[in-house]
Amino acid sequence: MHFQIKLYTIILISTLFFTACSKDKKEIIENARVSSKPAPKSLKLTLEKNSLNIETNTSLKVIATYQDNTTKDVTNQVEWIYTDKQALDIKNNILKTLHKDTNIFLQAKYKNKTSNKVALEIYKEINGYKLPPMPDEDLNNATILGIDVNNNEVRDDVERWIFDKYKEPIVQAVALQNARAFSKILVDPSKAKEMKKFTSALIRCEIYYEYDSENKLKIDSHKESRPIILNTRERNRAYYEYNQALSGGVYSSGGGENYKDYCDFNETKILLGDWK
């Protein structure tokens, strides 16, 4: 009886051993077949998503096409080519964005063949708000209005400063309204009396959230953002001309209105992360 058990055990171990060896042998043969395959005539790189928030993932794929028009997925065998190593990390077929928002190009290389270039946008999102990339300083300061890639009447460097400075969504929204008011008054100071309605609306909006709203938020975005917005001689001069044009005038502070109506954003949507 003991002899039969031992014999069975030996047979079982032998079977498992030869099965494993056979499997390993097949893998070796397959790998040798792949490695001996000639270089592909083309490589095609595709990304599941071409626009990603920081610290998020997407899958990618590289397909090799050979002279006989056969294809093979070689994603896990390629060398990745991209300029900014601090922006992303790739393991197997998963791309993970890191802490830096930027725009880069990605390529794959396999057996001396290079794939197509794929553009990848890595952006930063705060409270549901997609921030524009930090603009080039020289280009941004070359004009009064600077760079505004998302066309929301707020200079991109100011926009990023707002979301770094303030954490409360409503305060961020009020600060954006303030920046839009500055854009209107700086572009043509000679229209100061016409543009003053935008700064007056901002003041009323701030007063509402400081005194009338349930949260009683402390907001002084106009004063705090002034050094950031007026960061060049030309912008300071335009603001000085705006104030000079208003000098000596008498302007109503209003009264009896619902000051919340002067805010140019929808509070309910903002608190839900909808900034559109």
Task: Look at residue 143 in the predicted model and tell me its pLDDT.
Answer: 95
pLDDT in tens, 38-59: 889 999 999 999 999 999 999 9
Residue 225's alpha-carbon distances to 79, 174, 206, in angstroms, are 46, 12, 14
- Could you tell me if 121 and 151 lie in one domain? no
- Could you tell me if 109 and 225 lie in one domain? no
- Could you tell me if 145 and 75 lie in one domain? no
- Could you tell me if 213 and 92 lie in one domain? no
Given 81, 105, 125, which residue is the final one in a domain? 125
Task: Look at residue 105 in the predicted model and tell me its pLDDT.
Answer: 95
- Could you tell me if 147 and 263 lie in one domain? yes
Answer yes or no: is 240 within a domain: yes
- Could you tell me if 104 and 148 lie in one domain? no
Sequence-ordered list of residues with C-beta below 8 angstroms from that of 144, at least 6 positions apart, any chain? 186, 187, 234, 235, 238
Task: Look at residue 219 in the predicted model and tell me its pLDDT.
Answer: 79
Answer yes or no: is 116 within a domain: yes
Q: List the end-to-end C-alpha distance of the chain, in Å, as a whole number.
A: 81
Total domains present in the chain: 2
Work out the burial of residue 224: count CB atoms within 10 Å of its CB; fewer than 13 is exposed, 13-18 middle, 19 or more buried.
Answer: middle
Average pLDDT for 160-171: 94
SS3 content of the chain, % helix, strand, coil (to 5): 45, 20, 35
Answer yes or no: is 146 within a domain: yes
8-12, 160-164, 173-177, 260-264: least confident range: 8-12
The secondary element (H helix, E strand) that includes residue 119 is: strand 118-126
Residue 226's alpha-carbon distances to 124, 162, 271, in angstroms, are 24, 12, 26
- Could you tell me if 121 and 253 lie in one domain? no
Residue 233 identity: R
Given 87, 105, 125, which residue is the final one in a domain? 125
- Could you tell me if 72 and 148 lie in one domain? no
15-19, 33-37, 178-182, 209-213: least confident range: 15-19
Given 125, 150, 165, which residue is the final one in a domain? 125
Contact 265, 129 (CB under 8 A): no
Task: Look at residue 7 in the predicted model and tell me its pLDDT.
Answer: 45
The secondary element (H helix, E strand) that includes residue 161 is: helix 156-165
Torsion of CA 136, 141, 145, 149, to 10 degrees: 0
Task: Look at residue 253 in the predicted model and tell me its pLDDT.
Answer: 54
Task: Look at residue 175 in the predicted model and tell me its pLDDT.
Answer: 95
Three-state DSSP at 25 gives helix
Average pLDDT for 176-185: 95
Give Cα 140 to chain centroid, integer Å.
19
Q: Pick the residue with more confidence: 260 or 2? A: 260
Task: Look at residue 70 in the predicted model and tell me its pLDDT.
Answer: 94
- Could you tell me if 157 and 220 lie in one domain? yes
- Could you tell me if 165 and 50 lie in one domain? no
- Could you tell me if 52 and 83 lie in one domain? yes
Answer yes or no: is 86 within a domain: yes
Q: Which residues on adjacent β-strands are paired with residue 109?
A: 79, 114
Q: How confident is the model at residue 249 (pLDDT cuts 50, 70, 90)?
A: low
The CATH number of the domain holding residue 109 is 2.60.40.1080
Answer yes or no: is 105 within a domain: yes
- Could you tell me if 117 and 58 lie in one domain? yes
The fraction of the chain above a pLDDT of 70, given in percent, is: 83
Q: Is the pLDDT of residue 214 over 80?
A: no
Task: Look at residue 210 in the predicted model and tell me its pLDDT.
Answer: 87
Q: Which residue's structure tokens are 């050979």?
A: 66
Q: Which residues on adjacent β-strands are paired with residue 122?
A: 52, 102
Task: Identify the DSSP state of 210.
Answer: I
pLDDT in tens, 84-130: 989 999 998 999 999 999 999 999 999 999 999 999 999 999 999 99
Q: What range does the domain containing 56 cover?
A: 42-125
Give Cα 274 to chain centroid, integer Å.
16
Supply the pTM of this predicted model: 0.77
Answer yes or no: is 35 within a domain: no
Answer yes or no: is 29 within a domain: no
Q: Is the pLDDT of residue 33 over 80?
A: no
Answer yes or no: is 147 within a domain: yes
